[in-house]
Structures are given as structure tokens and as C-alpha cells.
Amino acid sequence: MTSPTNRRDQRRTATRERLLTAALELFATQGYAATTYDHIAERADVGRQTAFNHFRRKEDFVTAWVRQRHEALDRQEEGSASAIEALAGALRTLADLNEREYPLAKELHDSGVLHTAFALGAATPPAFTTAALRGHEQGEFRPELAPEAVADLVFDTYITALGRWLAADAGHSLAEALLARLDILAAGFTATH
């Protein structure tokens, strides 16, 4: 039997997801600037105040979208991959997400809100930090390098490469660009045996 609190939490989560889905669909189809809270509430079949209760600022929808992507990385199979393979897998996943949601990613980039979302606290995804910690602990990385700095560097490289890919209208493979950059970075921070 489900308690009233659990049902309330489930309804709240479902409403939040409906609002996020509605906002992202509208951003992709009619543009970020042209989408209002009224549009989002109507698409999600809730009241305008309900939309505000879940997402105080329009940018919060984008921050939630970025967070969802980072959570997708945490659901990846970890296996016994090396740290570099784990980082490459995370970059491939992000590239795939951006390619599948290209109209949305492009709109959020072109409107400048994607940059704002990263600036508002899109921290380095835990999957990057976990891989870098493993690389440090297993001796794959130079011992004097802080794993968190390695993770930040790879994530910062992703953000820059993503911006360039979106600005170039996806004129090249994002995954290939990311993996090429990871190879360059790895040559500088992997341990030699």
C-alpha cells in the first residue's frame, strides 16, 4: 500500500517531469525566447502557478535538462574499463544525447541559455570525477595530478567542443571531436609504465 506522502511525492515528480518535457519540446520547436510560462503550463496541462512552483526561472528548465544528462552518465555500465575508457564512454554518451536532441541543443546554444545553465552550476558530472578518481587510485594518471582537476579539464573540454560543434551546425562528428581531444589530454596526464 502506498502512503499519502508517497503518492503526493509521485504526483509532484510526475508534474515536474511533464513540465520539463513540455518546456523542452517548446524550446526546440518555437524557440527559448518565444516560449512563455503560459505556453509551458498549457502544454503540460497545469496552471501557470504550478509551473512557477516547480521551476522558479525559465533557466531552471535548462539546468534540469543538463542535470538529466549527467544522471544518464551515472547509469552507464561501469565494468572494468580503464579510467580513460570510462571517460571516453561518458563523452560518447553526451555526444549521442546531443546528436539525438540536436534541435533543442542548438536552440539553447544559439539563445545563449546553455552557457547560462553551465554558469549557473552545471558542475562536473560525478561520472567524470569517479573515472578520474579510479584512474588516480589505479596508477593510470600521474600521481601529482588531482583527480578532480583531471575530471574538470575533461568536462571543460566537452563544453568547449560542444559549443563549437553547435556553432558549426553539427558539421562534424561530435563524438570524434571529443575522443580526439581526450586522446590529446590523456597523453598529457596518463602515467607512463
- The full set of domains in the chain, from first to last, is 1-56 (1.10.10.60), 59-189 (1.10.357.10)
Q: Note the pLDDT of residue 9.
A: 87
Percent of the chain clearing pLDDT 90 (strictly above): 72
Instruction: Name the DSSP class of 190.
Output: B
Task: Kindly report, residue by residue over 95-105, the tens digit of the pLDDT.
Answer: 999 999 999 99
What mean pLDDT value characterizes the chain?
89
For 22, the grid coordinates are: 513540455
Alpha carbons 142 and 150: distance in angstroms, whole number: 10
Q: How confident is the model at residue 179 (pLDDT cuts 50, 70, 90)?
A: very high
pTM reported for the whole predicted model: 0.85
CA dist 16 to 27, 29, 31, 87, 186, Å? 16, 20, 20, 30, 39
Q: Note the pLDDT of residue 75.
A: 79
Helix axes 102-110, 4-30, angle to 10 degrees: 70
Number of residues that this document lists for the chain: 193
pLDDT for residue 84 is more than 80? yes
